[in-house]
Chain A
Amino acid sequence: MAQALSNEKRRRLAGGTVENRSSGLAGLIEETLPKAIIRDTTIVEQHIREGQFQRSLALVTGFSSLLGGLEVAYEHYRGSYSQRIMYTPVVLSGLLALVGIWGAFNRRVARRLLPVVSGVMGLDAVVGFIFHVRGIARKPGGWRIPVFNLIMGPPVLAPLLLAISGFLGMVTAFLRQEEDLGLDRQTTQSYGSSNAKPNSSRLTPWGVSHEALTLEQDIREGYFQRGMALAAALSALCSGFEALYSHYKNNYKYKIQWTPIVLTPLLFAAGIGTIWSRKIAHTLLPIISVLAILNGAVGAFFHLRGILRRPGGAKHPIYNILYGAPILAPLLFAASGFMGLLASLLRRRD
């Protein structure tokens, strides 16, 4: 982290110019990705710093990680924790949730601890993904009956969904805290303001009303719309894919089960489209995102109803939550929508 800090200082001294491209990987990225992304990635760190909603995003990270953690805790319970490694995402999600929330109140935690935990979470998610792919291969018939084993085997994209919280955590770490700019808050262009007081000693909750008033503006300070939109798109894809096959398992008994399936490609397209088009970012993306959020809420309601309608209903709550419709899954879908919305509110540089 010392590294990160010194980088930050360097950036500050450089007054926001972005000329420190490294070769190698960056070069490769440059050749393979659309120009727009490259530009964004090369200045991403700096632009993220434009965002002054570290507290809020830390909370979002914490909350989404909590959701993901609960989801993986019970999904892995269904898999009986038959390997010890299955505890890692549960523990890490819990940790990330804690650190995320702590980071909302403590800058040092947000800057130093959060990225570490987020990074490990991301790594764990990749490992999880590999294990899930292997798990499917080891089921009878393996990948030769992909439809069946995708549905009945470990959910192959679910670990990547957890990586999204990791991503949010990473982003959070590079943001400034809301009050960092002090009087400067009204100006949207505010490079290099270094009057941030270290407030690691501040552990009192941030005033909620103040938070609400300034939220939108704070978010506007961010210049990483593309990154966030991309994350929203990927998250929607993962969670929509899960919906696709788990609803298929239920044979789309209710028409409404199609809705997340329809919204997923739209949100994905809007998210990806945002990378190129400012227009999409301001029109399609927020609309679809709001729809996705609403859809997640409606889905959670139906899932809850499904649980209550199972044999034994509320008399066997634990079992029925375990094997009824996954109550958190629609909320994870809603979280993608939330990220989309966030993205549409962010700024971008063209």
Chain B
Amino acid sequence: MSAADFNPNPIPEQGVYSSAVAPAKEPGPTSAGNKLKSNRIDGIIRPATFEEPGTDDEGPVENLPVDVKIGQPLKSRAQPGYYPGYNTLSQQKFWDEATRKVVLSRVNEVPPIRFFTPPEHKLMLAICARLLPQDDRDKEHKIPIVNYIDDRLYHDRIEGYRFEDMPPDREAHRLGLEAIEAIAHKMYGHSFVKLGPLEQEQVLQTIHDGNPPAGEEIWQRMSVVRYWTLLMQDAIEAYYAHPYAWDEIGFGGPAYPRGYLRQQNGMAEPWEKDEQPYPWNAPPGSPSAGYKPLGGASGKQTPVGQEGTH
């Protein structure tokens, strides 16, 4: 699919989104330097402005997962997960060149923000920080999820299909941001970015459950559950493509020309690490820790698996 599918006639005079439909000449974190003026594009109604978030990089203590043994918050660490010291990147000399290039550029050349406007960017940051929270990662090892999502939307890389009850991905993302903002206002009377993490999670949980209390007309244009899966998928594709995430979960990483030799009994390769699990809990009260069925208990909106397996 090409850019044309999103908007056959970009509206350049609005300036705001022009960078979204044509690659920018000079990439930079916010190269478009946009300020939201108009609230209507492609027939989408959007709030005129998103409120500015409080800038708190460290994240409050209540965001941190809890060490079950001592009942205290777990400190942020370079590498959460049960495989301390495991480092896929340290194996890069054993990878073939093409793979090494792709993985290293993913790590070292984080794409700039070119699709989302600065307010959208902030909102997206806040959302992704709840979709895949990284409070237990130290600052240097956070995975820039939003940048990768932005890059996909900027290049309009689609997954090869669109559900008939969904608008094109770019539009869906914009509509979704709008809806999330509306839900936050409806539930807590504030912008999403101003809410505490648990409140933010509550807002997102309503979409996950297929029950958003606001954004009526948006949900008429796109399926709630499909939007949720779109959002989650994008976040997942960004996070679990990153070597830091591989280290976290103990995945072996690229394996060519050197493959795996120990296939039995979950044994670690000579360069892998054995598992050293530690007990932890999500921050108290976090709804996302609860594993509720996607689309709500009614099961009327069962989502479908997307990935090829066999």
Q: A251 with B267: in contact, given A145-B94, A148-B261, A152-B261 (CB under 8 Å)?
A: yes
In the complex, the answer to whether A140 meets B256 with C-beta atoms within 8 Å is yes
Q: How far does the alpha carbon of A119 sit from the alpha carbon of B270 in the complex, in Å?
A: 41
Neighbour of B259 across the interface among A148, A249, A251, A253, CB < 8 A: A148
Smallest CB–CB gap between B172 and chain A, Å? 41
Which chain B residue has the least Cβ–Cβ distance from A139? B257
Which residues in window 99-124 of B have CB below 8 A to A?
A: none
* B265 at interface by CB-CB < 8 Å: yes
In the complex, the answer to whether A148 meets B258 with C-beta atoms within 8 Å is yes
* B309 at interface by CB-CB < 8 Å: no
* B90 at interface by CB-CB < 8 Å: no
Q: How far does the alpha carbon of A148 sit from the alpha carbon of B264 in the complex, in Å?
A: 16
* A151 at interface by CB-CB < 8 Å: yes
Smallest CB–CB gap between B280 and chain A, Å? 28
Q: How far does the alpha carbon of A148 sit from the alpha carbon of B256 in the complex, in Å?
A: 12
- CB-CB under 8 A from B94, the residues of chain A are 141, 145
Smallest CB–CB gap between B171 and chain A, Å? 44
In the complex, the answer to whether B262 meets A251 with C-beta atoms within 8 Å is yes
Q: A151 with B261: in contact, given A145-B94, A250-B267, A253-B267 (CB under 8 Å)?
A: yes
- CB-CB under 8 A from B270, the residues of chain A are 147
Interface string of B258-292 (1 = CB under 8 A from A): 11011011011010000000000000000000000
Q: How far does the alpha carbon of A253 sit from the alpha carbon of B267 in the complex, in Å?
A: 9
In the complex, the answer to whether A145 meets B261 with C-beta atoms within 8 Å is no
Q: A141 with B257: in contact, given A249-B262, A250-B262, A251-B262 (CB under 8 Å)?
A: yes
- CB-CB under 8 A from A253, the residues of chain B are 265, 267
Smallest CB–CB gap between A138 and chain B, Å? 11
In the complex, the answer to whether A145 meets B258 with C-beta atoms within 8 Å is yes
Q: How far does the alpha carbon of A140 sit from the alpha carbon of B258 in the complex, in Å?
A: 7
Smallest CB–CB gap between A150 and chain B, Å? 10
Smallest CB–CB gap between A163 and chain B, Å? 27
Q: How far does the alpha carbon of A141 sit from the alpha carbon of B103 in the complex, in Å?
A: 19
Interface string of A220-260 (1 = CB under 8 A from B): 00000000000000000000000000000111010000000
- CB-CB under 8 A from B261, the residues of chain A are 148, 151-152, 249
Smallest CB–CB gap between A155 and chain B, Å? 13
Q: How far does the alpha carbon of A328 sit from the alpha carbon of B175 in the complex, in Å?
A: 67
Interface string of B234-271 (1 = CB under 8 A from A): 00000000000000000000001111011011011010
Smallest CB–CB gap between A313 and chain B, Å? 14
Q: How far does the alpha carbon of A249 sit from the alpha carbon of B261 in the complex, in Å?
A: 6
In the complex, the answer to whether A152 meets B267 with C-beta atoms within 8 Å is no
Interface string of B145-186 (1 = CB under 8 A from A): 000000000000000000000000000000000000000000
Which residues in window 248-280 of A have CB below 8 A to B?
A: 249-251, 253
Which chain B residue has the least Cβ–Cβ distance from A248? B270
Which chain A residue has the least Cβ–Cβ distance from B96? A140
Smallest CB–CB gap between B190 and chain A, Å? 54
Which chain B residue has the least Cβ–Cβ distance from A310? B264
- CB-CB under 8 A from A151, the residues of chain B are 261
Neighbour of B257 across the interface among A140, A147, A249, A250, CB < 8 A: A140
17 A-B residue pairs with CB within 8 Å: A139-B257, A140-B256, A140-B258, A141-B94, A145-B257, A145-B258, A147-B270, A148-B259, A148-B261, A151-B261, A152-B259, A249-B261, A249-B262, A250-B264, A250-B267, A251-B268, A253-B265
Beyond A140-B257, A141-B258, list 14 extra A-B contacts (CB 8 Å): A139-B257, A140-B259, A141-B94, A145-B94, A147-B270, A148-B258, A148-B261, A152-B261, A249-B261, A249-B262, A250-B262, A250-B267, A251-B267, A253-B267
